[in-house]
Structure 1
Amino acid sequence: MAGEDAGAARYPGLAGEGAPYLGLAGEGALYLALGALFSGLSLRKILKNEVKFQDASLCVLPALLLLEALCYAFLPPGLGLSVFSVACGFYYIALPVRRMLPAAGKSVLVTGCDSGLGHALAKHLDKQGLLVFAGVLNRNGPGAEELRRACSPNLCLIQLDVTNSEEITAAHCEISGRVKDAGLWALVHNAGVLVYVADGELLPVNVYKQCMEVNFLGVVQVTKMFMPLLRKAKGRLVTISSMAGLNPIPGFAAYAASKAAVTMFCAVMRQDLFKWGVKVSSIHPSGFKTNIFGSREHCSIQAQDLLENLKPDVRDDYGEDYLNTLKDLHHEMLTTSSSNISPVLEDAYHALLAQRPYSTYNPGTFAYLIPLIFRCFPLWFYDTIAKQMFPIHRAILPRSLRTFHNNYKTD
């Protein structure tokens, strides 16, 4: 028969009397059945364990489909089905399973709890039954008062400026006295500053210094102080970094540099602390509505400071109208950011109590996709995407560039 002749031509070893032969239709049905079985089992595991898309490595699925097609086209039925089955099995086993440790008896220090993510995380962890040490800049401020009112009596407010060595030492003495021989289960670095968004040339040097002192050096100082307690508990070191620490975002030169530094610090600490049984995770959120953008009054003060520190020739090149548009960037970013911070809270909780926490988390819209594009695609492609996504590219051109373009059109 024609079908058998085609099959014999494709697999000469199967030709001859008595040789087992599936036929092309039968072989295709087996591949379809195996693919359907694998897809169903994987989907069930993903839904049952609440696995996020990025954690499920969905980018692997097209590669598996391509492998299936190649096995069907070029390999004998037995070998092709075996190779495809092994690949599917490895993917299924690699899918993460949500197994959590009990919260009872575990303590955690969270920095930057006056407002924003740290404030919400302290409340969330307190509700889950952890002993929370909430580090605040002002123990008598409105954020601290809200935590006292809303949380259980177990929550302990800690006066902690991560740039103040004396306060770090005092916080360590207070916490070590509470946890004693049990050690500190987890340290969550959340305190951070953005200060101002503008072209890197325009940002004053003190903005770079402030970002590095809080976002990076503060993390290093607090980590070094509390590491003996973490090692004693074989606990967790968790840092809330930023998507800006993984890929360049225009206007974020100071902030992104500090977040890139802390991201690499955590990556190295993960390797250093493996032998001690301490697990290290970094969380890289995208845009969420927090107080890191500051109020309009804060932006106005920073804008004035920026103008006062500019050299006359730089101010003339950019122009007052361009500089004034930068004031609106903070408000625009705040209005386009998500007000639902639950993805960050869920990832932080997983990093703290999962039996097998991930080394990196990417909560929020595009938080996984944008760094992936930056790493895997040509730079011109990433730059094109960035021009459409980030608001600083939609601002008017600096004055000298507008003058150049107008003169060019006139000529």
Structure 2
Amino acid sequence: MSTLPSETAWLCLAVTAALGGLVLCQLKKSPGQVGRKVVCLAGLWGGACLLSLSLFWGLILFSLSCFLLYIYLSGQELLPVDQKAVLITGSDSGFGHALSKYLDQLGFTVFAGVLDENGSGAEQLRRTCSERLCVLQLDVTNPQQIKDAYSTVVQKVQNRGLWAVVNNAGILGLPADGELIPMSHYKQCMAVNFFGAVEVTKAFLPLLRKSKGRLVNISSMGGEIPLLKLASYSSSKAALTMFSAIMRQELSKWEVKVSTIQPGGFKTNITGTSEMLEKLEKDLLDHLNPDVQEEYGQDYILAYRRILTSFSVHSSSDISPVLLDIRHAISAKSPLTLYTPGPGTYLWLCFFYFSPTGIFDYFNKKFLNFDVNIPRTLSMPKWKNEVM
């Protein structure tokens, strides 16, 4: 009788080791950041079980955790490509351009929607990708171009259907205090980042329902976290995030799966060219109330150049985590509803949701370091403010 607990413990240890091996094998079939995060959490949980409980009960609980983890990872296996057709908006540069190339290499039939079909990004896709890739003129703010793109896709896919739509097209606008951003900038961000994605989604949903496919919306960490100087951009991405959450529930009855990608800081061309930034700067100054301009001061208003430099410093040039997560959202048997590629992105989201507002605001300002300059009126001595 005295040997029973010891034998049982050894049996539990063997079962745990076997389940752990199955989990690791299953992990290899699920590329990307998802599986690794889950396994790290499981490892921490297992260590806590073994340290806080007796060896016997710790192994029992950890074995059960490994079994549940194996079931979860089984749903993360990737479906075969089989030349599945995918539409990607905003493929001129950045995530969309890299994703078009990546999925084409994997064997997908890619419809790369671009803002300028004669631009350098479109020409590079035609030159470097396979014949399966089709470049589409697709300004997401132009309803006629969306209709034309739909007609082209239907003609080419025929009975194969469209497997996935990736709403990637987006603009950043000019980083500035929310009071300083012209209404035209707010409307432009909403038109591209939100209304464009909604209209593309509505146009292509009949094809996704037919294939029981995937809708993937590229939002932003700014869609959840109040990032300073990005009121117009973050507001539009917050709208897209909520749209995704609602569509995920409404489309579940059609077996269409919806995922939201909220990347952290990555170096892309979302800020636009220097000519575009100069135009946005001129538009901001032209529409600014003289009293407001006087109070803030031109040096403070035009500090966006330093803000963009700060963005670049805190951004990663390796966008492969984003590509892997989008591929997982498109191909996994049971894709996640939310992906947060990027160093520290998920931790920053957790910090925002669980920390007191005052603490978050303090670290948010310190981390972004945007308020080195202060508005002209606030920088003046108190007696001068009173005279004014």
Contact kept? 2:49, 2:58, Cα under 8 Å: no
| Structure 1, 92-101 or 259-268: larger mean CA deviation | 92-101
Please tell me whether residue 48 in structure 1 is matched to residue 25 in structure 2: no
Please tell me whether residue 310 in structure 1 is matched to residue 288 in structure 2: yes
Report the CA distance between 1:86 and its aligned residue: 3.5
Q: Which residue of 2 aligns with 1:283?
A: 261
Please tell me whether residue 235 in structure 1 is matched to residue 213 in structure 2: yes
1:101-112, aligned counterparts within 5 Å? 101-112=79-90
Report the CA distance between 1:176 and its aligned residue: 0.9
1:209-248, aligned counterparts within 5 Å? 209-248=187-226
TM-score, structure 1 normalization: 0.83
Taking the aligned partners of 1:255 and 1:405, their CA distance within structure 2 comes to: 35
Q: 1:351 aligns with which of 296, 313, 329?
A: 329
Rate the CA distance shift 1:96–1:138 in 2: closer, same or farther, 3 A. Answer: same
Contact kept? 2:174, 2:304, Cα under 8 Å: no
Q: What secondary structure sits across from 1:292 in the alignment?
A: coil
Contact kept? 1:299, 1:330, Cα under 8 Å: no
Is the radius of gyration larger for structure 1 or structure 2?
1
Contact kept? 1:296, 1:331, Cα under 8 Å: no
Q: What secondary structure sits across from 2:345 in the alignment?
A: coil
| Structure 1, 79-88 or 371-380: larger mean CA deviation | 79-88
Q: Which residue of 1 aligns with 2:358?
A: 380
What amino acid maps onto 2:28 in structure 1? K
Taking the aligned partners of 1:384 and 1:196, their CA distance within structure 2 comes to: 24
Q: What secondary structure sits across from 1:135 in the alignment?
A: strand
What amino acid maps onto 2:167 in structure 1? H
1:152-301, aligned counterparts within 5 Å? 152-301=130-279
Report the CA distance between 1:405 and its aligned residue: 6.8
What amino acid maps onto 1:209 in structure 2? K
Taking the aligned partners of 2:177 and 2:290, their CA distance within structure 1 comes to: 16
What amino acid maps onto 1:387 in structure 2? K
Report the CA distance between 1:41 and its aligned residue: 4.6
Taking the aligned partners of 2:373 and 2:44, their CA distance within structure 1 comes to: 41
Contact kept? 1:108, 1:188, Cα under 8 Å: yes
Taking the aligned partners of 2:283 and 2:217, their CA distance within structure 1 comes to: 30
Taking the aligned partners of 1:228 and 1:144, their CA distance within structure 2 comes to: 27
Which segments of 5 or more consecutive residues in structure 1 lack a partner in the other structure? 1-17
Contact kept? 1:71, 1:83, Cα under 8 Å: no
Please tell me whether residue 399 in structure 1 is matched to residue 376 in structure 2: yes
Q: 1:328 aligns with which of 291, 306, 316?
A: 306
Rate the CA distance shift 1:95–1:377 in 2: closer, same or farther, 3 A. Answer: farther
What amino acid maps onto 2:374 in structure 1? L
Taking the aligned partners of 2:357 and 2:22, their CA distance within structure 1 comes to: 34
Rate the CA distance shift 1:386–1:211 in 2: closer, same or farther, 3 A. Answer: same
Q: What secondary structure sits across from 1:149 in the alignment?
A: helix
Give the fraction of aligned pairs with identical amino acids, expressed as a percent.
Answer: 44
Report the CA distance between 1:389 and its aligned residue: 2.0
Contact kept? 1:211, 1:255, Cα under 8 Å: yes
Deviations 1:185-243 (A, max 9, x none): 11111100111111111111111101111111111111111100111111111111111
What amino acid maps onto 2:205 in structure 1? M
Higher RCO by CA contacts (8 Å cutoff, separation 6 or greater): 2
Report the CA distance between 1:38 and its aligned residue: 9.0
What amino acid maps onto 1:329 in structure 2? I
Report the CA distance between 1:401 and its aligned residue: 1.8
Rate the CA distance shift 1:300–1:332 in 2: closer, same or farther, 3 A. Answer: farther
Rate the CA distance shift 1:175–1:71 in 2: closer, same or farther, 3 A. Answer: same
Report the CA distance between 1:376 and its aligned residue: 1.9
Note the aligned Cα RMSD (angstroms): 3.1
Q: What secondary structure sits across from 1:368 in the alignment?
A: helix
Contact kept? 1:236, 1:279, Cα under 8 Å: yes
Q: What secondary structure sits across from 2:302 in the alignment?
A: helix
Please tell me whether residue 118 in structure 1 is matched to residue 118 in structure 2: no
How many residues are paired up?
382
Rate the CA distance shift 1:79–1:136 in 2: closer, same or farther, 3 A. Answer: closer
Contact kept? 1:245, 1:260, Cα under 8 Å: yes
Please tell me whether residue 127 in structure 1 is matched to residue 112 in structure 2: no
